[in-house]
Amino acid sequence: MKEIWKKHKKLIVIAVVAVVVVAFFFNPFKGSGNSDLMVQTTVLAKQDLSKTVEVTGLVESADSMKVTSSLAAYEMQTINVKAGDKVEAGQVLGTVDVEDLLLDVQKAEASLNINDQTTGLTLNSTQQEYEDFKADLENNMNSSINNAQTNVDNALTTLNDAKKAYNEALEDMDQGENETIKKAQKAVDNARKAYRNASDAYDSYDPDASESLINSLLADLTRQCTNADGEIDRVKLCPTYDSEKAKILAQGASSGSSESSLKSASDSAYDAYKEAKDALADAVKAADKQLESYLDAVDKAQTAYDNAEKNLTIAKRNAQQQLKTYEDSLTKTQLSASDPSRQIELQKLKKQLNEAEITAPISGTVTAVNVEVGDKASGVLFVIENADALKINTAIKEYDLMSVQNGMKAIISADAIPNEKYNGKVSFIAPAAKKAADGSTKSGSSSVEFESEIDVTDTKTDLRIGMNAKVNIIVEEKKGALAVPYDAVITDVDGTSYIYVAQQDGNKYTAKKVIVTIGMETDFLLEVISDELQEGDIVITSPQGVSEGATVLLG
Check residue 346 and give its pLDDT.
Answer: 79
**Domain locations in the chain?**
38-44+479-554, 178-300
Q: CA 151, CA 312: separation in Å to the nearest integer?
A: 8
Check residue 250 and give its pLDDT.
Answer: 62
Tell me if residue 425 falls in helix, strand or coil.
strand
Q: CA 178, CA 170: separation in Å to the nearest integer?
A: 9
DSSP 399: G
Contacts of 277 (CB under 8 A, 6+ apart): 188, 191
> In this structure, are strands 37-39 and 551-554 parallel, antiparallel, or unpaired?
parallel
The pTM of the whole model exceeds 0.85:
no
Choose the CATH number for 38-44+479-554 among 2.30.30.40, 3.40.630.10, 2.40.420.20, 3.40.190.10.
2.40.420.20
Considering only CA atoms, give the Rg of the chain: 68
> Cα 306–311–314 angle (5° rounding)?
130
Hey, what long-range contacts does 272-276 have (CB within 8 A, 24 or more apart)?
272/191, 272/194, 272/195, 272/221, 272/224, 272/238, 272/240, 272/244, 273/188, 273/191, 273/192, 273/194, 273/195, 275/191, 275/239, 275/240, 276/184, 276/187, 276/188, 276/190, 276/191, 276/192, 276/224, 276/237
Do 515 and 531 touch, CB atoms closer than 8 A?
Answer: no
Residue type at 550 in one-letter notation: A
- How far from 444 is each of 56, 436, 530, CA to CA, in Å? 20, 12, 42
Q: CA 115, CA 337: separation in Å to the nearest integer?
A: 9
Q: CA 439, CA 170: separation in Å to the nearest integer?
A: 98
Among 179, 191, 185, which residue's Cα sits nearest to residue 240?
191
**Cα distance between the two ends of the chain:** 30
Q: CA 184, CA 228: separation in Å to the nearest integer?
A: 11
Q: CA 414, CA 419: separation in Å to the nearest integer?
A: 9
Among 396, 394, 405, which residue's Cα sits nearest to residue 469?
394
Among 40, 43, 42, which residue's Cα sits nearest to residue 543?
40
> Cα 410–415–419 angle (5° rounding)?
70
Q: CA 282, CA 275: separation in Å to the nearest integer?
A: 11
Where do runs of H (alpha helix) occur along 176-258? 179-203, 210-225, 241-253
Among 407, 414, 427, 410, which residue's Cα sits nearest to residue 461?
414
Question: What angle in degrees, to the nearest 10, is found between the helix axes of 210-225 and 179-203?
Answer: 170
DSSP 35: -
Instruction: Read off φ and ψ for residue 177, nearest 5 degrees.
Output: -100, 10
Q: Which residues of the chain have pLDDT under 70?
A: 1-35, 176-177, 205-213, 235, 246, 249-258, 439, 441-446
SS3 helix, strand, coil % of the chain, rounded to 5?
45, 25, 30
Residue type at 151 in one-letter notation: N
Segment (H or E) for 369: strand 364-369
Check residue 134 and give its pLDDT.
Answer: 87
